[in-house]
Amino acid sequence: MTNTLHRFSEHYAFEPKPSARPIENDFIVFAMATRDVNDDNLVEKYRTFARLALAHNPVNLGDATKGGIYRPDQALNPLAHWRRDDRPDPARVVQGLDGHTTLAAVFRTREDMEGFVRDLKQADLGVSINISAPVDAAAACCKAAGLARHSVEFSLGFQGRVERLPDRSVLEIGTMCGHGMVSHTLVRKLIDWVKEGRRTPAQATRYLARFCTCGVFNPTRAEELFEQTRTGGS
């Protein structure tokens, strides 16, 4: 099970917009080992997973215990908040791996994900691999890599008093952190700032990505969504 199943999209919404397109830029691959079962030489297995992922243009790479390629920094004071060095740092993720965790790589294209999964099959790391993507895309990826899918899980979507949820633009961006570490209020504020020209979509995306501890927030998709809110596109 993965909390990334609950990423909101207008295409799969409770009342889908006719113009909404399927998600075509958000594909996640996880690695996880079981204690005392397949965790021998685990750090090297995880580092191999991460290095193979980096060869296929990931937009994020995350260690669930330490963070992704965008991280907060306790050494900074509030005056540095908007002017900090916020360049991605994938090497920090690889070097920081030190034991049990969930490792994730996020891709913008199915082709990148498929290339990575093929490499994982060849590496045969002996840990559990989970693909989080639209079901058709995940099935096509397994077929292309010559793998038999073990199982499949679906999200049943949002149930109950959905009128109390934030608006769709906020949900599409905020639910990319499945643990709820990206505040919907902050997303709404940054959407307003992008519309006002106070921040660019890229700046707003990097601010939010730091809060997602698992590193599964998709900066490419978030930046496109911010741009859509700025231009009024769909």
What is the DSSP secondary structure assignment for residue 21, as one 8-state letter? P
Q: Is the pTM of this model over 0.85?
A: yes
Helices (DSSP H) in the chain: which residue ranges? 42-54, 90-96, 110-123, 135-145, 168-174, 184-196, 201-209, 219-231
Evaluate whether 40 touches 12 at the Cβ level (below 8 Å).
no
pLDDT tens column, 186-213: 999 999 999 999 999 999 999 999 999 8
Q: Residue 158 is encoded by which pair of tokens?
A: 């949002």
pLDDT tens column, 103-157: 999 999 999 999 999 999 999 999 999 999 988 999 999 999 999 888 898 888 7
Q: What is the DSSP string of 57-115?
A: --SEEEETTTB-SS---TT--GGGTTTS-----HHHHHHH--SS-EEEEEESSHHHHHH
What is the rounded distance in angstroms from the CA atom of residue 227 to the CA atom of residue 234? 10
- Residue burial 132-141, b: 16+ Cβ < 10 Å; e: rest: bbbeebbeeb
